[in-house]
């Protein structure tokens, strides 16, 4: 029986989602450990996104084939009892056998948080990127809009990890202000490796006056990898929403 689990996690202490052979702790590895504790046999779980080391998730989905019949509510409770405090199962439901947490997705939304206070907010440490300097929010908004649409995003992918097909469709991208921090939010039908962190860095540099909107248009048009801005650290990145 295939189950779909809705998770939420703080990624600070994990090396992303994907299990790594003899590697550091990942979200998938602690989920597999919890499942083994419940069913007493190896049960691999598949996630909707690999996520980089340190990335958080406000909403994350995974599917798993469980060997025994079990009530969904009880399974969620049992998993949470075996999981560390920074990983939580919010919901569990039955799905069709052909459902795939990754390949059945229609869109994903990522959120990046910028701490723009005069001094770094200690309550945002590890959860946002502190920006040194004043930013122009209007320029950042204009920069974000350039990425909307269907483009070849090879220029916004980590070097040497870009797939042959790097066309993606960005449905929306924009900036919101929330007290002493800024939210950059972007939705698309799929994302390349480091794509959000690279785009976020470009949008930030436009806001800081280091790049122009014209620079972004030239970058996208070239479809070639160029380090024109910093790749933002993972601490401020959240997978916010997954649609099926």
Q: How many residues does the chain have?
A: 244
Query: For residue 221, what pLDDT is reported?
Result: 87
Q: Is 205 marked active-site? A: no
Choose, from 52, 68, 215, 243, the residue flagged as catalytic. Answer: 52
Kindly report, residue by residue over 134-169, the tens digit of the pLDDT.
999 999 999 999 999 999 999 999 877 888 899 999
> Is 75 found in the same domain as 148?
no
Kindly report, residue by residue over 175-204, the tens digit of the pLDDT.
999 888 999 999 999 999 999 999 999 999
Q: H or E element: which one contains 79?
A: helix 72-82
Query: For residue 122, what pLDDT is reported?
Result: 95
Task: Print the SS3 string covering 167-218.
Answer: EEEEEEEEEEEECCEEEEEEEECCCCCCHHHHHHHHHHHHHCCCCCHHHHHH
Listed in sequence order, the residues at least 6 apart from 188 whose beta carbon sits closer than 8 Å to its beta carbon are: 107, 108, 168, 169, 170, 171
Kindly report, residue by residue over 18-34, the tens digit of the pLDDT.
998 877 899 999 999 99
The mean pLDDT of the chain is: 94
Q: In percent, how much of the chain has pLDDT > 70?
A: 100
> Is residue 204 one of the residues assigned to a domain?
yes
Does residue 227 carry a pLDDT above 80? no
d(CA 241, CA 236): 15
CATH number of the domain where residue 163 is located: 3.30.70.660
Listed in sequence order, the residues at least 6 apart from 96 whose beta carbon sits closer than 8 Å to its beta carbon are: 2
Q: Residue 242 is encoded by which pair of tokens?
A: 């997954």
> Is residue 99 one of the residues assigned to a domain?
no
How many C-beta atoms surround the C-beta of residue 183 within 10 A?
17
* The last residue of a domain, from among 65, 94, 123: 94
Ranges 7-16, 61-70, 155-164: which has the least confidence: 155-164
> Is 201 found in the same domain as 115?
yes
The total domain count for the chain is: 2
CATH number of the domain where residue 39 is located: 3.30.70.580
Mean pLDDT confidence for 118-139: 94
Q: Domain range for residue 174?
A: 107-243
Query: For residue 38, what pLDDT is reported?
Result: 96
């Amino acid at each position: 029986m295939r189950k779909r689990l809705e998770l939420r996690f703080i990624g600070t202490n994990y090396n992303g989602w994907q299990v790594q052979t003899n590697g550091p702790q990942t979200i998938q590895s602690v989920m597999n450990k919890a499942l083994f504790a419940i069913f007493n046999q190896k049960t691999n779980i598949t996630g909707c996104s690999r996520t980089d080391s340190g990335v958080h998730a406000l909403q994350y989905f995974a599917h798993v084939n469980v060997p025994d019949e079990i009530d969904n509510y009880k399974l969620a409770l049992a998993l949470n009892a075996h999981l560390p405090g920074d990983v939580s199962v919010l919901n569990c439901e039955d799905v069709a056998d052909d459902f795939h947490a990754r390949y059945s997705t229609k869109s994903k939304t990522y959120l990046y948080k910028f701490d723009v206070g005069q001094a770094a907010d200690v309550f945002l440490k590890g959860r946002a990127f502190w920006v040194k300097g004043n930013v122009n929010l209007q320029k950042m908004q204009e920069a974000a809009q350039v990425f909307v649409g269907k483009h070849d995003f090879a220029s916004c992918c980590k070097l040497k990890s870009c797939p042959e097909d790097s066309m993606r469709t960005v449905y929306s991208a924009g900036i919101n202000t929330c007290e002493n921090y800024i939210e950059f939010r972007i939705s698309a039908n799929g994302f390349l490796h480091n794509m959000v962190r690279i785009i976020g860095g470009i949008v930030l540099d436009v806001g800081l006056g280091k790049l122009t909107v014209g620079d972004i248009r030239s970058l996208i048009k070239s479809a070639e990898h160029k380090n024109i801005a910093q790749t933002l650290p993972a601490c401020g990145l959240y997978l916010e929403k997954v649609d099926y």
